Structure 1
Amino acid sequence: MANQIPDCFYRVSVKALICDKQNRFLLVKEDNGFWELPGGGLDFGESPRDGLKREIWEEMKLNVTSISAQPSHFFTIKNHNNIFIANAMYEVQLESLNFQPTSECVEIRFFSSADVYKELKVYPNVLAFAKLFEKEPLGSSS
């Protein structure tokens, strides 16, 4: 029997908001061709900052140099697997962008929100974040 998870339960996902000088955000292309926000599911007992460091290393083999103390953006969505996900976006800086390809990251590229809307192969959370980022980009006062 499959687990029946109530709609009020969310998987917590920590995502890295890595921006370039044009205020575009970094996405990673998975080996299935879909673009995703860097980061992933938070393990039980893991802090968001430790989870981001782990996820970025697993995905891209890159070292994190700084992570914001608090999320810059937060949103919930039902993902492509029909699971409710709570996404906490933290501003992250990396030592470099010289990534090593893995199955979770075969390419990296900076996108504007408009670029995301033109891309056919993005996960639902990427579209949701692009809409949010369009309204509340980095450097905007809330």
Structure 2
Amino acid sequence: MALFNVRVYGLLISDRNEILISDEQEYGYQFTKFPGGGLELGEGLIDGLKREFLEECNAEIDVLNHFYTTDFYVKSAFNDSQIISVYYIVKNLQPLQLNFKTKVFDFDGTGKVLQAFRWVPLTDLKVSDVTFPIDQYVVKLLNEKQ
């Protein structure tokens, strides 16, 4: 049976015109993406995104507006599901209390699941800064809007 995998991500842009990205290590892979993740059964998109930001960033967010929804086929990098990703512009409701990094994959500690956050100036953001095809397409869209 073919499955759909619905993902929801937040594009958090700071007052300094920097975007938050997440370096992660999981399933034996290292990858860079926007904060967010998989929608859980019975959960709406915005509730799922707010949950993901609480889990990943320990931050409450406000969802400002829809930015993009996948409109082309993408197979998951981890299984045989088809990925559908929804991206929203978000803002944090309080200052983020994260240990921001400047180097890629600069994780604290060890383990099977690791995560680190970086700010990247929007003017410097490149397709190669993120791993997955849908995120890369979103970077192109962000660059076109500048």
Contact 1:113–1:130, Cα closer than 8 Å, also in 2: no
2:8 and 2:36 in contact (8 A); partners too: yes
One-letter amino acid of the structure 2 residue matched with residue 115 of structure 1: L
Cα displacement (A) at 1:118 = 4.3
Corresponding residue for 1:110?
Answer: 120
Check the 8 A contact 2:67/2:88 in 1, yes or no. Answer: yes
CA-based RMSD? 2.7
Return the structure number with greater strand share: 2
- 3-state DSSP class of the match of 1:99? coil
Q: Which moved more, 1:101-110 or 1:17-26?
A: 101-110
Q: Distance in 1 between matches of 2:91 and 2:127?
A: 25
Letter in 2 for 1:93: K
1:46 & 1:79 partners in 2: Cα distance? Answer: 21
Q: How far 1:115 sits from its partner (Å)?
A: 3.0
What is the correspondence of 1:15-26 to structure 2 with a 5 Å cutoff? 15-21=9-15, 23-26=17-20
Partner residue of 1:72 out of 62, 67, 71: 67
Identity %: 23
CA-to-aligned-CA distance 1:5-43 (integer Å, 9 cap, x gap):
1xxx53211110111245443211113542111111111
- For 2:58, which of 23, 48, 61 is the aligned residue? 61
Offset at 1:125?
2.5
In the superposition, the TM-score normalised over structure 2's length comes to 0.70
Secondary structure in 2 matching 1:55 = helix
> What is the CA–CA distance in structure 2 between the aligned matches of 1:107 and 1:51, rounded to whole Å?
20
Other-structure match for 2:81: 83
In structure 1, C-alpha distance between the alignment counterparts of 2:127 and 2:9, rounded to whole Å: 19
1:42 to 29, 39, 42: 39
Is 2:134 aligned against 1:125? yes
Q: Gaps (5+ residues) in structure 2? A: 100-107
The whole-number CA distance in structure 1 between the counterparts of 2:81 and 2:127 is 23
Q: Does 1:96 align with 2:91?
A: no
> What is the aligned length?
128
